[in-house]
Amino acid sequence: MSPEALRIKVKKAGQRACDEKDAKGKVCVGHLKRWDRPTEEVVREVGKDVQVYRCERCHTLYRPAPDDRSSAGLKYEKRKVNILGDTVVPDP
Ligand SMILES: [Zn+2]
């Protein structure tokens, strides 16, 4: 078992390239590939039957965004704003 905490990023709708930055702040842009054999630990984290993606360069894991409908072209997002004007991120 890895001593590192399991870290899974959320893949944005339509995202195909890794946006993980390295120590120098350079974006990885590795290709995100479907990861067909997630480890037990990952399955426990994201749930069964959830398609996990993995960067082929840095191996960062991604799970689909909860509202990822992959509708290319529809770029706007509705966001709720609270009293302070901060963006409220809805719970999945
Ligand atoms: Zn990467």
Distance 54 CA to ligand 1 centre (A): 8
pLDDT score for 5: 75
The mean of the pLDDT values for the chain is 82
Report pLDDT for 75. 55
Instruction: Tell me the CA–centroid distance for residue 28 and ligand 1, in Å.
Output: 5
pLDDT digits (tens, 9 = 90+) for 27-72: 999 999 999 999 999 999 999 889 999 999 999 999 988 764 555 5
Enumerate long-range contacts of 67-72, CB under 8 Å, 24 or more apart.
67/13, 68/11, 68/12, 68/13, 69/13, 70/13, 70/14, 71/13, 72/14
> Quick check: 80 pLDDT over 80?
no
Distance 27 CA to ligand 1 centre (A): 8
Distance 45 CA to ligand 1 centre (A): 20
Check pLDDT > 80 for residue 23.
yes
pLDDT at 17 over 70: yes
C-alpha 66 to ligand 1 mean position (Å) = 21
**Which of the pair, 85 or 12, is modelled with greater confidence?**
12
**What are the structural domain ranges in the chain?**
1-66+79-92
